[in-house]
Amino acid sequence: MSEKKILRALKGERQAVPPIWMMRQAGRYLPEYRATRAEAGDFLSLCYNSDLAAEVTLQPIRRYGFDAAILFADILLLPQALGPKLWFETGEGPRMETTTTPDQVAALRPDEAIHETLAPIYQTLRILKQELPSETTLIGFAGAPWTVATYMIAGRGKEEQAGAHRLKAEDRPTFEALIERLTTSTIEYLSAQVEAGAEVIKIFDSWAGSLKGQDFEDFAVRPTARIIAALRERHPGLPIIAFPREAGEGYIGFAHKTGADCVAVDNSVSPEWAAANVQKDGCVQGNLAPHHLVQGGEDLVTETRKVVQAFQGGPHIFNLGHGITPDASPDNVQRMIDAVRGA
C-alpha cells in the first residue's frame, strides 16, 4: 500500500514524476461514459447503480492508467439522504427541495438513517476495491458543509451563493444549525466510505471562495477541521485532501488549520504562487486550467510542464484546477498525461 504513488505524495514524499489523476475524470468527455449513462437512464440512476457507477469509475483507469480512481457519485447524494428531494434538469444541473427554516432543519433525518439511502455508494466502493489495479489509489469524497448548504438553501447552484449568504445574515441560528447537521452527517458518510474501501478522502468546498474574513474561518476552515479530526480518530493515518476552491489567500495555512495532508488548489492562483505559499506546508494538488484540455496544441504541453516544474521542489499530485469539462478532447487528456510523465 505504501508503494502507491498517491499515498507516497500524501505522506510528504517528493517524486521526480508526480502522480496524476483528474477531477471528473469519469465523465461526459468520454464516449464510453455517455454510453453507460444512457444504459442507466439518468444521472441519479447511474449514481445509485453500483455496478454501473463502478464501471464508469474504472473507464478512465483502463483508458489512461491514472494513479487514482475517484468514486463516481455526487456531493448532493448526502443531503438527499437527509430527506430533501433531489432531481436533475437536463442541461441545467441539480435541483433540490430547499431547507431554510428551523423546522426544515429539525426535520432532516438523523445521521444514522443516511446509510440506507447511501448503501449503493458503499457497494460501489467495495466493487472498486476488488476491481482496481493494485497500484491505483481509491479516493472517496464528499462536499464540504458550506458548499452543500448553498445548494440546500437555494435549491440549485447559483452565482455568489446569495441565498446562503442571506440566510447566514438574516437567520444565523438556522444557518449554523444546518452547517452543524451537515458536519456530523458528513463525518458519518465519509467514515462509511473508508470502511467500504476508500483509501483517501477528498473534501470538496467548491464555493469556499465566496466566504470572506471570519466567515471563511467559521464555515470553511472549522467544519473541515472537525471532519478531519473525527475521521482520523476513527481511522488513524487516513490521508485527506481538502479543496477550498478559489480561497486565494485562504489557501495559506489551510493544511495546518484543518489537518489536511494535501491542499488542492484551483487555477485562479499560479502554480508558482501555490508552490511558494502552500506547498511549504506539505503536499499540493493541482492546478492546470481545464480549458487547455479543450484547446490542446502546444499550449497544453507547455502549461502542463509549467505546473510540474513549479511544484517539483516538494510533494505534488498533478491534477486540474477544477473538473474536466464535457467538451474536452480525450486525445488531449492523453497528451497531458504524456507531458507529465515525460513521454
Of 8, 24, 181, 245, which one is the catalytic site residue? 24
Grid cell listed for 310: 513549479
Q: Is 181 annotated as catalytic?
A: no
Listing DSSP states for 226-274 in one string gives HHHHHHHHHSTT--EEEEETT-GGGGTTHHHHH--SEEE--TTS-HHHH
Considering the candidates 14, 34, 37, 156, report the single residue annotated as catalytic. 37
Does the annotation mark 109 as catalytic? Answer: no
Cα 225–Cα 230–Cα 231 angle in degrees, nearest 5: 100
Q: Which of 33, 64, 122, 151 is catalytic?
A: 151
Q: Is 24 among the residues known to form the active site?
A: yes
Note if 28 is an active site residue.
yes
- Let me know if 29 is a catalytic residue: no
Tell me the C-alpha distance between 249 and 217, whole Å. 12
Angle between helix 172-196 and helix 114-131 axes, rounded to 10 deg: 40
Q: Number of helices and strands (H, E) in the chain?
A: 17, 9
**Set 14, 34, 74, 156: catalytic member:** 74
Beta-carbon count within 10 A of 38 CB: 10
CA distance 14 to 68: 17
**Residues acting as catalytic residues:** 24, 28, 37, 74, 151
